[in-house]
Amino acid sequence: MKIAITGTNGLLGQHLVHLLLAHGYQVVALAKGDDRTSFESHLSYKYYPVDISEDFGLHDVLSIEVPDILVHAAAITQVDECELNQDKCWDINVQGTVRALVAAELFSKRFIYVSTDFVFDGEKGNYSETDETSPVSYYGVTKLRAESFVSDSEIPWVIVRTCLVYGNALSGTRNNIISWVKQNLEQGKPIKVVSDQVRTPTYVEDLAKGILLIIEKKVEGIYHISGKDVLTPFEMAVRTADYFGLDKQLIEKVDASVFVQPAKRPPKTGFDISKAGKELGFEPVGFEEGLRKMGRR
């Protein structure tokens, strides 16, 4: 089976490519710019530089490769950047998804879209797939609008919502919360971390495994794929310091009002992942095990 993936230069994209190749799939990797992965010599791997903000780049590649499945993971995920550059955010997160859908409807059999907990307002927490959506940031608005196009499409689809992904980058990706905390504490730099937001942080390899299960089970619909531990970012930072033997006295406990940020964050998200457990057999590692896995690399 041949699977095309957008956004393969990102944290999830790199790990998903690695996992699918290890399971014997052919992978067509698509991302902006040069290939940051180390899979170029693999016989089942092809890379194409594709900008999803352009009209025909993805269409042309899929017309050549004709993948069975398109996993659309490319997006602008920086919440403040989306708030400040709304036209660019809309073009990539919404119009880019529409371009991907159109190409998939022509040349593929299934479409998997990676979305976010930020489609919720964060007032309730522990969200299930059937809970009402109500984003509080422009980033969340674009991801929810893209979801609506996916759910109205002519191709069998899955929407995968995830929450605060962390893990080791394979090559050249941006910091996530754990790598940011670890890097700053290793350099002896004090950091401020919020304690009034709640998430279910997701180890990146678990997210990739969840998508693999979705592919293999041939399901459709919406699935919440995240970690199982409910934590604040401050708690994550302290546990990170404890695990790696770093100075947690450098971590200052603050609330979100300390930061002047263009975009509002939902205070309490986190997922009920019981549907993924029941229908997919999805079982994520605990947060400490995720840290152990990071430490072993």
pTM greater than 0.85 (yes/no): yes
SS3 per residue for the chain? CEEEEECCCCHHHHHHHHHHHHCCCEEEEEECCCCCCCCCCCCCEEEEECCCCCCCHHHHHHHHHCCCEEEECCCCCCHHHHHHCHHHHHHHHHHHHHHHHHHHHHHCCEEEEEEEHHHCCCCCCCECCCCCCCCCCHHHHHHHHHHHHHHCCCCCEEEEEECCEECCCCCCCCCCHHHHHHHHHHCCCCEEEECCCEECCEEHHHHHHHHHHHHHHCCCEEEECCCCCCECHHHHHHHHHHHHCCCHHHEEEECHHHCCCCCCCCCECCECCHHHHHHHCCCCCCHHHHHHHHHCC
pLDDT tens digits along 181-193: 999 999 999 999 9
pLDDT at 296: 73
pLDDT at 208: 98
| CATH pick for 2-167+202-226+270-286 out of 1.10.287.1080, 3.40.50.720, 1.10.357.10, 2.40.50.140 | 3.40.50.720
pLDDT at 297: 59
pLDDT at 286: 97
pLDDT tens digits along 122-180: 999 999 999 999 999 999 999 999 999 999 999 999 999 999 999 987 776 678 999 99
pLDDT tens digits along 189-234: 999 999 999 999 999 999 999 999 999 999 999 999 999 999 999 9
Domain locations along the chain: 2-167+202-226+270-286
pLDDT tens digits along 42-92: 999 999 999 999 888 999 999 999 999 999 999 999 999 999 999 999 999
